[in-house]
Amino acid sequence: MIYLDNNATTPLAPEVRNAMLPHLGDAFGNPSSPHSAGMAAKQAVSEARASVASLIGARAAEITFTASATEANHLAILGALRAVEETQPQRTHVVTTAVEHPATLMLFDDLERQGWTVTRLPVDAAGRIALSDLRVAVDETTALVSIMAANNETGVLLPAAEAADVAQARGALVHVDAVQLAGRLPTDVDALNADLLSLSAHKLHGPKGAGALYVRKGTPLHPLIHGHQERRRRGGTENVPAIAGFGVAARLARAAVEGGAAASMSILRDRLERGILAAWPGSRVNGAGAERVPNTTSIRFADGHGHPIEAEALLMRLDRAGIQVSMGAACASGGNEPSHVLLAMGLSRAEAAATLRFSLSRYTTAADIDTVLTELPPLFARLAA
């Protein structure tokens, strides 16, 4: 099997699995218990917290563990807005983008129904927002700006640090969704100037069921789940096996980034793009004109006459050939609606439905890419006939 759907989830690193196993067996203590088993679990959580903090240049005390990045995003947005409501009730406006993760956009839809004013910044044909639009949108009534650092479908980098500067100049808080950035490019909370930043373990070869929220010291935040755990920011007994795995995954991800993994992935990604575009000149890379994370390419396929090819059929044929890719966000799968990201970029519904996303990892090899470029042509030819 050749797995090129790493923006949906990544395979568990062997070192991560080994770190988790003891906590699924004899090391089963509750981190809140005062005896030796509990203290051992607490130590494991503390070590993981330090490793996750190190990945993004934060302090350990600024990391709150959650059950997912979706929960981290919700805690950041809802927790910040509840805190702002208490002290600055005149701030009833939030700003985000039209290309955020589906779960985040659904949350903003719900906030709008509750009476918040929501501005969703548009993107251009390359998937970029205009800072001029942001400067117009943010005013003295803005409570929060929430922006992803890298888009999960196209890999396009959004100007999170510049957005933070604009927001904070008007007294608004800033939340950055760094799920697709961390572990692929250097990620530093001070460089991003983030008040809040979300992470996910399973996007960087860690386990599912573990997310994290960075909360800059002094940032107001109300818990969504009450309890004494996680400095009272997030109640509930910690998922020690997953958190321990997250810590090791973060340590390995940091070493990979520092060791040049981004350059290696970029070379392979570019080889894949060149091969596909050379074989089918009518195809296009979505977001080609923008800066992107090094592991992601979103390609819309077309036949020799420029007519879109049904990507779902191509995906299924690739799967039968042992090559796994996707059509976009895994969390939006299951329906027949085209990608909201691609529609926001100006693609037609047919063009969006003709798109496949290939997302590599640090374990992807040149042989994997060569195999894809060998297997694709006959599969494509049958669809384009």
Residues 279 and 55: their CA atoms lie apart, in Å, by 39
How far is residue 236 from each of residues 7, 8, 51, 81, 142, measured CA to CA in Å? 28, 26, 21, 22, 32
Residues marked as catalytic: 331
Distances 61 to 53, 86, 214, 231, 350 between C-alpha atoms, Å: 8, 24, 9, 8, 48
With beta carbons less than 8 A apart as the criterion, state whether 235 and 229 touch. yes
Question: Are the C-beta atoms of residues 246 and 210 closer than 8 Å to each other?
Answer: yes
Q: Per DSSP, what are the bridge partners of residue 302?
A: 308
Quick check: 138 and 154 in contact, CB under 8 A?
no
Which tokens hold the place of 234? 């997030």
Please give the Cα distance from 89 to 243 (Å, whole number).
Answer: 36
Q: Backbone phi, then psi, for 364, in 5-degree steps? A: -70, 140
Question: At what angle are helices 240-258 and 261-279 packed, to 10 degrees?
Answer: 80
Dist CA 215 CA 209 (whole Å): 20
